[in-house]
Structure 1
């Protein structure tokens, strides 16, 4: 905590006009900028050059300023002993120097040391003394910040808030943004103490914005750390996870072991050079006395110099050893912090994944009742006024189902549960099907969809047609949503072809409302639609582009965007695929759907939910299919053993033994009867597991009636017909 508070403390250059003449001021400025950007080694280097010039020009005030700045930088490195060493050197010089500003900084550093030791009230007293010695605005602002932190420590929150708020609107010539950042962070921490978490989030976001704009690396880390913790407290886990990931990136790029070693090496070198220069000054003094043949004084100086050298060497050896120990401890601490942060991020991701998976699965069961009952009611010739309400209910159910599917899709990608397939497909057919399925939406917006297809694209490609369809459904659907009375163009072109390797270029271009530069930075984030106003006007979940980005990532591709507000948008990417030139063109790519007559089938329905039992039974009765109901897996195994069914509709998630286990047990005595898995599929479900258990096909709940009947016809009726024929 003290290190975080110290990081705000840096004093600007001396008011001595000589600084401008010899370049010392520019090195002080560099040191200040490097320090605020957490580049401590470079800050020390710049400060060392300033001290050399000051000493060469015998500028005592500038040398005092250099010692003070060294003291503050070593405090940043948690080297209290070295801080005191430089502070003591400044003390000696100030005893013989009339320099009020230097005295003010000296007392300010003493207040910092007192605060570090927990002597809060003595620190406030020392700050009050320092304020009487200067009117330097930059120094007074840093005193104000330190005073606010002290007030926080003694729980005088009103006084701390007053100080922080005054710094938020500061007009400091040198460190306006840096002081604002520290003030916002102080207010955010104060809000946490007062349990005003929304205010803490607002101040934390303000701090993060200013810190990122100015490359204040340590403050960027502190702001992300605070937001991670506060978002977790208020239960906004997605946002907490974002900042947790940011912390890992920052630690990997900013707080590296190499950086720590470099800072320690630079700090040790400068400290050793300072000691060596002190010894050199003593040698020069001895030489002067030797020339004046003042033997007694030479003897005294020799003795003093000898003792000084021995003392400095002893101190240097001791401190070097301490530095090594502290460096090792720091490295171990950083490693532990990185491990802890990584574990926390993994746990947060797992918690989010499990939560979304459970919610997605549990929502499907009641949603099955909503969509199923709506379908049944629509087929019972409802009145005109009832039909309108039922269609609205059906639309809402479909919308909610799409939303759940989107969440589950992103969840699977994040959890590395999806892998792209490599099967044969026709790209032109995929694009044509996508466009045809979205023509109704296009008509509603009075918009044309144009396909610009390169006929040089091989007719047969190897890849994952389903995921590619999802990419274009989302991109074209997104373009249509924001385009009225315009055009959406889908472009597919060959970029390169060598043997069976093909590189294709895809683009979806629209003439819609466009996307501003600011919105483009976040448009691919989950639940992002540019703004709240856009979400309210156009609707949608804000997950479509996130899914596109994630799916293309599975193919090793990256979605790119060019857009301008009011002038439309263009989303484009490249994809590497394999061609199959040897395949004959007339091979069909999908089975044509048939209108099956399912009358007379006798099925076993395995379903634990009572409402779903009623709905499934009514849907079967609509097709003159009779059925028995089993409420659990054990009962299903018993009924399958006792009866001769044409097929089994097996729910997967049930209390007791699961549908997978029940299928395995049935297959021990019945290898032939078709079994179709009905499942509200979740993240951990694997289709391969269903087929390995003995299922013939899978239907995902809530299902569309036409898909439900088609699967029964393909798997159960055709099996029965083949069995009868034989």
Structure 2
């Protein structure tokens, strides 16, 4: 059953202060009755509000009241009456300029679609509703309905994130009610994931809140949940205790009589509203009849008028029959289109999930390939073996780049990318890209130059990761098609206005160039100009597509000038904000060679046995000792019982995820460095890792030098900064 929770937002046209106070009191009572599942009393209060709205001709208040009727009947699974009030609200809304009413209408439509099983339609409607109103209570309840939908589509991580936010909500109307519902849903998810201990904790929290505030339905649901969980844990005495409590609730005379009273009250109210419409029409007819008797002339004119009206009525009746048939046909076609749209959305979601799963699963064996290759190269292999190992390492790196490109395009297609807005140093970002590609340039006998304008402010606000990806793809692309030549990276300041700057970037080369025909589709996915180019130079043809999409996040466009045989120039402009209050800080720059790793003791949290062996061997190379936890629960217990210099936390594990394990560790240890090791998938977000309490992130399969550098930075830099 679907439960909706948004209380009325009192934005109606107030006739006087006393009337406004009375309506406020009515809706306060309504909220209390609904929370306590006193549906008959809740309906009576809504009837009072509807009467005030009609007497005052207050369309906004009447719209809000109809919404509450529709929501209440949807909660009681009375779909026919829900649609009766829903239709009346839809008609009223057409003549109103009322943003909250429109937002709530979209929220209700999302609830109805969710009740029908159309999860993705419901999510889209909720997003539209969120844009129209920033009402805190509406936002909280959008989070709750989203959590129900995420649970339905087994997106447990997003569901849990929403529900944890609701447990600590500061809603002035429904704080306890929202927390109760959130705890119940978390208990359900924990049970589905077989984390029964967590399910008991959330069920008891829900039961305590429900009993304290007399939330009748939630008391019953919490008892039912506890009886089920305790039965699964073989705690039969506890299970029986909650089953007895549940039996007392179900068999209570109050419960039976209440159900009868609610049904009668609901029917009475709907019948009364329908009769009111009929009485209004009857009164109008009587008024017309009285006016007809005033004079014979009026009678004659009225008779003629009625004759004309009758003829028109016949015509209208026929037209109405045609219209009804047309509406039926349109309704059928619309349903077919909705089904087709749902199928298309489901297919796109399936394709996205498939690609995400494939790229994620490929990373696990690739981690073994690259890790073992590195270890073998470190163990002084024979000279005839080194060439084979280097070839294996090159193939692994190539495959990793291909997987990264596929994942990046998949995220762009699924609209999963959002730019950050953090302070960073642009010169360091671009210089790091240039330095990392100098070896590639050397192999191609090509000069790689950075021309950086010193007038560009040092401290800018933006997304250094995505900017780095843009230049990595552009410079890598230029080097691929340039041999014994020059590649130049240019960054210039165009203008500066207070706290904003406009920058010009260009990557140009004197390589093979691109013909005019090929320039038309060079930015399309999997395009490299021709089959011959693809076979000669390799690659996926996704680099420039990624650049174009990433620049779109910054409202910027990539431009190209090229001549076949004379090189190419890719250039774009970008607007960024600068941090005028930032000051240069003393940095602690140490290389991996300068870190004294010997004697460190680290906890590895990893469920894959091969990955455990490889990670342990890489640490042993640096004389680092380690313990291994096979899952999140073991990690929490071992972190409590032992002192570690750092924790290497895998994110994707059965049971509780690495994020959740990190949250729980942070409850008793705020200082230990936790580094997330993850084969990032489509739904992963670096921001969520940091919010959970991770200090840093290393993506698998990782380069050994990056792995050691991250460990050293997070252990020794923190110590140095603490000393300073």
TM-score where L is the length of structure 1: 0.51
Residues 448 and 603 from structure 1, CA distance in 2 versus in 1: closer, same or farther, beyond 3 angstroms?
closer
SS of equivalent to 2:389:
helix
The answer to whether residue 366 in structure 2 is matched with residue 367 in structure 1 is yes
Aligned partner of 2:486 in structure 1 is 487
Aligned partner of 1:569 in structure 2 is 568
Aligned partner of 1:382 in structure 2 is 381
SS of equivalent to 2:661:
helix
> Does the aligned pair in 2 maintain the 1:459–1:581 contact within 8 Å?
no
Q: Which digits, 9 at most, give the CA deviation of each residue in 1:390-423, with x for residues without a partner?
A: 1111111112122222222222232232221223
Quote the Cα distance in structure 2 between the aligned partners of 1:562 and 1:366. 41
Aligned partner of 2:692 in structure 1 is 693
Deviation at 1:720, TM superposition (A): 7.4
Residues 590 and 421 from structure 1, CA distance in 2 versus in 1: closer, same or farther, beyond 3 angstroms?
farther
Q: Which digits, 9 at most, give the CA deviation of each residue in 1:198-220, with x for residues without a partner?
A: xxxxxxxxxxxxxxxxxxxxxxx
Quote the Cα distance in structure 2 between the aligned partners of 1:365 and 1:597. 30
> Does the aligned pair in 2 maintain the 1:601–1:717 contact within 8 Å?
no
- Within-5 A mapping of 1:108-123: none
SS of equivalent to 1:509:
strand
Quote the Cα distance in structure 1 between the aligned partners of 2:532 and 2:652. 40
Deviation at 1:341, TM superposition (A): 5.1
Quote the Cα distance in structure 1 between the aligned partners of 2:357 and 2:612. 22
SS of equivalent to 1:416:
coil
Residues 579 and 634 from structure 1, CA distance in 2 versus in 1: closer, same or farther, beyond 3 angstroms?
closer
Residues 676 and 581 from structure 1, CA distance in 2 versus in 1: closer, same or farther, beyond 3 angstroms?
closer
> Does the aligned pair in 2 maintain the 1:425–1:589 contact within 8 Å?
no
Deviation at 1:478, TM superposition (A): 0.6
Deviation at 1:671, TM superposition (A): 4.3
SS of equivalent to 1:639:
helix
- Within-5 A mapping of 1:255-274: none
Aligned partner of 1:401 in structure 2 is 400
Deviation at 1:381, TM superposition (A): 0.7
SS of equivalent to 1:542:
coil
Quote the Cα distance in structure 2 between the aligned partners of 1:667 and 1:506. 42
Quote the Cα distance in structure 1 between the aligned partners of 2:585 and 2:674. 29
Aligned partner of 1:465 in structure 2 is 464
SS of equivalent to 1:525:
coil
Residues 494 and 698 from structure 1, CA distance in 2 versus in 1: closer, same or farther, beyond 3 angstroms?
closer
- Within-5 A mapping of 1:22-61: none
- Within-5 A mapping of 1:266-665: 339-340=338-339, 342-581=341-580, 583-584=582-583, 586-587=584-585, 591-593=589-591, 595-665=594-664
Q: Which digits, 9 at most, give the CA deviation of each residue in 1:648-706, with x for residues without a partner?
A: 22222222332233334444444444332222121222334333433333222212222
Residues 452 and 720 from structure 1, CA distance in 2 versus in 1: closer, same or farther, beyond 3 angstroms?
closer
Residues 451 and 657 from structure 1, CA distance in 2 versus in 1: closer, same or farther, beyond 3 angstroms?
closer
Quote the Cα distance in structure 1 between the aligned partners of 2:557 and 2:658. 39
SS of equivalent to 2:551:
helix
Number of aligned residue pairs: give it: 409
Q: Which digits, 9 at most, give the CA deviation of each residue in 1:602-639, with x for residues without a partner?
A: 22222211111111111111111222222223333333
Residues 567 and 647 from structure 1, CA distance in 2 versus in 1: closer, same or farther, beyond 3 angstroms?
closer
Residues 327 and 501 from structure 1, CA distance in 2 versus in 1: closer, same or farther, beyond 3 angstroms?
farther
Residues 493 and 319 from structure 1, CA distance in 2 versus in 1: closer, same or farther, beyond 3 angstroms?
farther
Quote the Cα distance in structure 1 between the aligned partners of 2:564 and 2:343. 39
Quote the Cα distance in structure 2 between the aligned partners of 1:361 and 1:460. 35
> Does the aligned pair in 2 maintain the 1:426–1:589 contact within 8 Å?
no
Quote the Cα distance in structure 2 between the aligned partners of 1:333 and 1:563. 54
Residues 561 and 379 from structure 1, CA distance in 2 versus in 1: closer, same or farther, beyond 3 angstroms?
same
Deviation at 1:332, TM superposition (A): 5.7
Residues 486 and 339 from structure 1, CA distance in 2 versus in 1: closer, same or farther, beyond 3 angstroms?
farther
Further displaced range: 394-403 or 485-494: 485-494
Quote the Cα distance in structure 1 between the aligned partners of 2:374 and 2:691. 33
TM-score where L is the length of structure 2: 0.51
> Does the aligned pair in 2 maintain the 1:633–1:657 contact within 8 Å?
yes
> Does the aligned pair in 1 maintain the 2:588–2:717 contact within 8 Å?
no
Quote the Cα distance in structure 2 between the aligned partners of 1:610 and 1:669. 28
Which runs of 5 or more residues in structure 1 are unaligned? Answer: 1-315
- Within-5 A mapping of 1:12-91: none
Deviation at 1:498, TM superposition (A): 2.6
Q: Which digits, 9 at most, give the CA deviation of each residue in 1:207-266, with x for residues without a partner?
A: xxxxxxxxxxxxxxxxxxxxxxxxxxxxxxxxxxxxxxxxxxxxxxxxxxxxxxxxxxxx
State which structure, 1 or 2, has the greater radius of gyration over its C-alpha atoms.
1
Quote the Cα distance in structure 1 between the aligned partners of 2:714 and 2:687. 17
Aligned partner of 1:273 in structure 2 is none
> Does the aligned pair in 2 maintain the 1:424–1:460 contact within 8 Å?
yes
